[in-house]
Amino acid sequence: MKFQTGLFFAVFFLFFNFLKAKDKGDDMGAKMDIPGDFFIEYYFSEGSVPPPHHYEYGIAIKKADGSGVIRYFPDYSAHYKTPVTRSFKVSESGFAELFSAVKVIEGRKWDYETDKVGGATESVEIVYDKRVIRIKENPIAYDKVKPLYQKINGLVPAEIWKELKNIRDEYIKNYKK
């Protein structure tokens, strides 16, 4: 009987702590500490196509002030000298999701395609705890880094993406060869 009572209290204790952790938004009470120097700079460039069909952009996200900024070129940066720049805030949960995606790729050695011709390119530089992770264009294991790229892009508010699309559509419409 003592064993059953002890087992009951052990299960009850674990279940109670699980519920308490869920109420806090934690996973079993494990809170992720995101370093204050956490910084990501992501870059996307559409493939080599004639103007005005190319576009490129960079997204920088900084934990220190909770900010993000996107610098968007609706064409090659050589043709469109000044980027369209928009700032946005990143929530704590956004940083937590992003940092979790970084931890998945941390410590991985990246091999790169050397003979890729054409197509879009993406790269990222991540800084935290005085460490730097650089992923150049065209990693062979793209499927491993793609979730990180999607999380970065997903932090830019939909209204900003819509505005940038409208700017690009207008640029294409008015482009003179």
- Residue 112's closest CA among 125, 101, 126, 122? 122
Please give the pLDDT value at position 33.
Answer: 87
**Between 175 and 10, residue with greater pLDDT:** 175
Angstrom distances, CA of residue 56 to CA of 34, 43, 83, 117, 135:
29, 8, 10, 17, 17
Please give the pLDDT value at position 99.
Answer: 95
Write down the domain spans for the chain. 1-31, 39-174
The SS3 call for residue 34 is coil
Please give the pLDDT value at position 139.
Answer: 75
For residue 168, pLDDT over 60 is answered with yes
- What would the mean pLDDT of 124-131 be, rounded to a whole number? 93
Please give the pLDDT value at position 26.
Answer: 43
Please give the pLDDT value at position 140.
Answer: 78
Indicate the pTM of the whole model.
0.79
pLDDT in tens, 3-51: 444 444 444 444 444 444 444 444 433 457 899 999 999 999 998 888 8
Please give the pLDDT value at position 115.
Answer: 65
The rounded distance, in Å, linking the Cα atoms of 25 and 126 is: 26
**Between 20 and 124, residue with greater pLDDT:** 124
Q: Considering only the top CATH level, what class is 39-174?
A: alpha beta
Please give the pLDDT value at position 169.
Answer: 95
The rounded distance, in Å, linking the Cα atoms of 98 and 105 is: 11
Please give the pLDDT value at position 19.
Answer: 42
pLDDT in tens, 78-118: 878 899 999 999 999 999 999 999 998 888 887 777 666 77
For residue 170, pLDDT over 90 is answered with yes
122 beta partners: 44
pLDDT in tens, 133-145: 999 877 778 888 9
- Residue 61's closest CA among 27, 96, 32? 96
